[in-house]
Amino acid sequence: MKYPSIKTELPGPKASRLICEDKKFVSPSYTRYFPLVAEKAQGAWVHDVDGNVFLDFTAGIAVCSTGHCHPRVVQAIKEQSDRLLHMGGADFYYVPQISLAKKLSSLFPDGGNHKVCFGNSGAEAVEAAFKLARRHTKRELNIAFFGSFHGRTMGALSLTASKTIQRTHFSSFVPGITHVPYGYCYRCPYKHDYPQCGIECAYWIEDTLFRTIMPPEEVAAIFVEPIQGEGGYIVPPPEFHMMLHKIAKKYDILLVADEVQTGMGRTGKMFAMEHFGIEPDIVALAKGIASGLPLGAMIARSEIMDWEAGAHASTFGGNPVSCIAALTTIQLLEEELMANATVQGQRLMKGLEELQGVYECMGDVRGKGLMIGIEFVKDRQTKERAIAWRDEIIHSAFQKGLLLLGCGENSIRFCPPLTITSEEVDVCISVLDESIKKVAG
């Protein structure tokens, strides 16, 4: 079995020097969980500049869906780079953009009745959805959820309600957005128990919001992550999205699924909303769509994407190299990786649940496919958040060569490449076991 290999102190000498330079020249607004300076990577294994080898359960924040530098993706990028690097998809036509739009459209149940607007990132995909929803409905108000993360451009940031640091001194925000509690059963905002709760988290929108301060006929869209990502890998109750969908339909409100983190096979299905049995009106995609090349896509049914020429576009959006990377990524997902996400997700979940039987501090283990989170608590009864323990566990795992990321206030997320093997899952569980024992055992 292959294990991480840590040969130097961390950070090693080369990494330390580079981090000093980085501090001098790169924006201090970036959050770095640990001092890793990557040099090369393959599959789920990352080599740093000092020759240390790490097992990666972050996939560049759920981006490297096909693993780092998948040979077929790299080959496709090389071939496309020889043919055409850029043309400007908003002004000209080229085959990769048309082919990718057609392929993405075919992934929806009615197979081909969707149109795609390309951008370069998750925030841009959400931003485009925000603009389209207003323009199509001619309505100004929107609903989003506490704990949500939709990106950092002003529209997307106005929808985001994750951490105050992301908003501090950036106001004023885009007006007309109301945030409501998400379906978070472990910490139910209404202190109910599922399923006796009647899914009040969804019902409240119609029962209270629409009766008091928010006229539903003025609401353009509800923006929702199928599973909250940055907010803590929170899986809502099974009926939650169905109820949102029903409310949206009743008042001609658009339901926008932000699948930037959950989409492209991560949860074992192409789109996480498939787990909840609903089809949203608009979908935002990015991250895993192109295995690491920058690409965002906002997809809507053709009758909704009815804006005129000039209404919205991007110079780099739908770049031919990114589109080819995305087409190859989707092929790999359909051939085997989505199925692998289900199989290895179950193995990872089982391993984590076994650890939960041992460690009191693992308050909640939740997720779908290879999108799994653990919420750490000081006490299972009070559910007091164990923020410092969470940070120390991530740090300890790093020292042992396992890369993990936090999410929410006190959770760790597991979002490895979808190529992950049983052996790699077992190594992750074993390193995590040692780290939790050391910090909170």
Ligand X SMILES: Cc1ncc(COP(=O)(O)O)c(C=O)c1O
Where does this chain bind ligand X (CB under 6 A)?
Answer: 121-123, 126, 149-151, 225, 229-230, 258, 260-261, 286
E strands, 202-269, where?
219-224, 254-258
Q: What are phi and psi of 412, to 5 degrees?
A: -115, 135
Nearest to 39 by CA among 62, 73, 11, 77: 11
Residue 427 Cβ vs ligand X, minimum distance, rounded to whole Å: 26
CA distance 72 to 203: 46
Residues ≥6 apart with Cβ < 8 Å to 100 = 116, 318, 323, 326, 327
Nearer to ligand X, 45 or 145 (CB): 145
* 3-state SS class at 34: coil
β-bridge mates for residue 56, sequence order: 403
Going by the DSSP 8-state scheme, the letter that residue 135 receives in this structure is H
CA distance 419 to 136: 39
Nearer to ligand X, 130 or 359 (CB): 130
Residue 229 Cβ vs ligand X, minimum distance, rounded to whole Å: 4
Residue 125 Cβ vs ligand X, minimum distance, rounded to whole Å: 7
CA distance 309 to 110: 25
Residue 28 Cβ vs ligand X, minimum distance, rounded to whole Å: 18
Residue 420 Cβ vs ligand X, minimum distance, rounded to whole Å: 20
Residue 336 Cβ vs ligand X, minimum distance, rounded to whole Å: 25
Going by their DSSP bridges, the two strands 141-145 and 219-224 should be labelled as parallel
Nearer to ligand X, 126 or 141 (CB): 126
Nearer to ligand X, 199 or 407 (CB): 407
Residue nearest ligand X, Cβ-based: 122
**Count of alpha carbons within 13 angstroms of residue 6, beta-carbon side:** 15
Return the exposure string of 124-163: e unless at least 16 CB atoms fall within 10 Å of the residue's CB, then b.
Answer: bbbbbbbbbbbbbbebebbbbbebbbbbebebbbbbbbbe
Residue 255 Cβ vs ligand X, minimum distance, rounded to whole Å: 15
CA distance 260 to 290: 12
Residue 212 Cβ vs ligand X, minimum distance, rounded to whole Å: 29
Residue 287 Cβ vs ligand X, minimum distance, rounded to whole Å: 6
Nearer to ligand X, 150 or 385 (CB): 150
Residue 286 Cβ vs ligand X, minimum distance, rounded to whole Å: 5
CA distance 62 to 47: 18
Nearer to ligand X, 126 or 180 (CB): 126
Nearer to ligand X, 219 or 289 (CB): 289
Nearer to ligand X, 126 or 338 (CB): 126
The 10 Å Cβ neighbour count of residue 217 is 11
Nearer to ligand X, 52 or 66 (CB): 66
Residue 29 Cβ vs ligand X, minimum distance, rounded to whole Å: 13
Nearer to ligand X, 36 or 256 (CB): 256
Nearer to ligand X, 216 or 318 (CB): 318
CA distance 238 to 372: 16
- Compute the C-alpha angle 41/42/48, nearest 5°: 25
Nearest to 285 by CA among 323, 241, 247: 323
The token duo for 257 is 């699924």
